[in-house]
Amino acid sequence: MNKDSKIYIAGHNGMVGSAIWRTLTVKGYTNLLGVSSAALDLRNQQAVADFIAAEKPEVIIDAAARVGGILANNDYPYQFIMENMQIQNNLIDSALKFGVEKFIFLGSSCIYPKLAPQPLKEEYLLTGTLEPTNEWYAIAKITGVKACEAIRKQFGKDYLSLMPTNLYGTHDNFDLNTSHVLPAMMRKFHEAKENNHAPVTLWGSGTPMREFLFVDDMAAAVIFALENKLPDYLYNVGTGKDLTIKQLAETIQKITGHYGEIIWDASKPDGTPRKLMDITKMHELGWKHQVQFEEGIQKTYTWFLENIDRFKEVKM
């Protein structure tokens, strides 16, 4: 990959896309392409086709998606399946039609069956029932994985999929109505601290186990896939270590400086019992994560505090 190769990052303003952009810039890539959602609606098939035909990128990195936690997935199932399929299908199909040689599709660990053996191996895809609370998003992402596999098989192009574990970090979404568990907890603990260390109520029992990867490590994995021709179509990306939601809460509570009570609302759903990724394939190729968990939480909280004014406008 040449440093002046034209690389289009779909979703470049989001948490993952912006981390990829920063990492590529630091590594000396000079021909990066990004367009805001206001300027290009990726759900619009003709608009995407016209854009790819005109710009002729050599590489597309698809970091664009409609995302959210259990609440958002539960409340907006149609948008989560349809909009994600529209976004990725338009990008993948236009990439094939207009000669894009390399396509990196980013998915999610939720593509694997709810009760699959742990840790999750790539070959467990489509071997069981999905977790009901996010199956709409998962089904959309599975179609993206299979579309890239089909192109790889039929046309011999270097199209592949990276499945990250739960991502967090700078530029995350801290809107309590749509955010994932880690940023939602961080904001709740911070606001409770500011409110005389008021009690914090969290969903579920605290017993499910989750794995978390700092977003800069995910960006490094994408660049690794960009600069190397990987032999397979699907790779897990994670740390290979997990912790309980209770341990997550206690870590965030400590780093934010909250000393109040944590109340677990067991009437709310837990989601998948465990989602630990088997990252053997990426490790064997030479990629490993660098940022340790507490270090990543601290970096994220520092960024949150530096940007807190933008979050104060978004209430529960």
The residues carrying an active-site annotation are: 137
Is there a binding annotation on residue 141?
A: yes
Is there a binding annotation on residue 14?
A: yes
Closest of 137, 125, 39 to residue 88, by C-alpha: 137
Taking each continuous run of H as one helix and of E as one strand, the counts in the chain are 11, 13
Is there a binding annotation on residue 84?
A: no
What tokens were used for 135?
Answer: 């199956």
Is there a binding annotation on residue 114?
A: no
Is there a binding annotation on residue 130?
A: no
Closest of 12, 19, 28, 92 to residue 303, by C-alpha: 19
**Residue 111 Rama label (left phi>0; alpha psi -120 to 50; beta):** alpha
Is there a binding annotation on residue 15?
A: yes
Is there a binding annotation on residue 13?
A: yes
Is there a binding annotation on residue 260?
A: no
Residue type, 207: T
Is there a binding annotation on residue 108?
A: yes
Cβ count near 245 (within 10 Å): 22
E strand residue ranges, 65-199: 102-106, 158-164, 166-168
Closest of 256, 8, 218 to residue 106, by C-alpha: 218
Is there a binding annotation on residue 11?
A: yes
Is there a binding annotation on residue 217?
A: no
Is there a binding annotation on residue 181?
A: no
Is there a binding annotation on residue 85?
A: no
Is there a binding annotation on residue 187?
A: no
Please give the angle made by the CA atoms of 261, 266 and 271, to the nearest 5 degrees.
Answer: 115
- How far is it between the farthest Cα atoms of the chain? 61
Q: Are strands 262-265 and 102-106 parallel, antiparallel or unpaired?
A: unpaired
Residue type, 172: D
What CA–CA distance (Å, rounded) separates 300 from 207? Answer: 24
Q: Detail the residues annotated as belonging to a binding site for substrate.
A: 188, 203, 210, 270
Q: Detail the residues annotated as belonging to a binding site.
A: 11-17, 106-109, 141, 164-167, 180, 188, 203, 210, 270
Q: Detail the residues annotated as belonging to a binding site for NADP(+).
A: 11-17, 106-109, 141, 164-167, 180
